[in-house]
Structure 1
């Protein structure tokens, strides 16, 4: 199977950024009280004025650039989903509690060593 046929088969079975996944991700973000506007504003530079010639040049972007952009967007969506799943499972809070417990035990050991000498 050639690489173009393999890519077409992969796209047909698992379309990048499917509407269902995107809407689900947006619903989770909305229900999580995450300020997406603030995150995006800090990650992107402010827009600059666009002239008509720049617009024409931008619309003629090479297909490779578009494909690379879609790939980066897909990777971002996957990373965001993974982060939301971790948050929803409560693993971070559980690990934080374990760290605090160990810290407390170590402080008791230090107090015992300092008090015993």
Structure 2
């Protein structure tokens, strides 16, 4: 019996998905920058999606993206203070009612706009 180990196939106990992620980016002056987000508790995190469809469902079809491995995404994000990588996050925001999110009648349990609902 011959066993092969591929670099993009994690062991079952490893939390990282196999293969490159779809990573949201933002245009810069002459390059692209990885978009960073915040968790519900305020920690900075890089995000990646396991499919382009999941990225579009969360951030919109117009969101530009690139493919990166978890290791490369982590190495790009750590120097700017994002030590977490969140895979397939769900973004949450208060309901759009036209009323301000703070002040009288605001729900104190509502998460901040653009915060991530789940971190892996």
Scaled to the shorter chain, the TM-score interval is: under 0.3
Q: Could you say which structure has the larger radius of gyration? A: 1
Q: Please, what TM-score do these two structures have when normalized by structure 1?
A: 0.27
Q: Which protein is richer in helix relative to its size? A: 1
Q: Please, what TM-score do these two structures have when normalized by structure 2?
A: 0.27
Q: Which protein is richer in strand relative to its size? A: 2
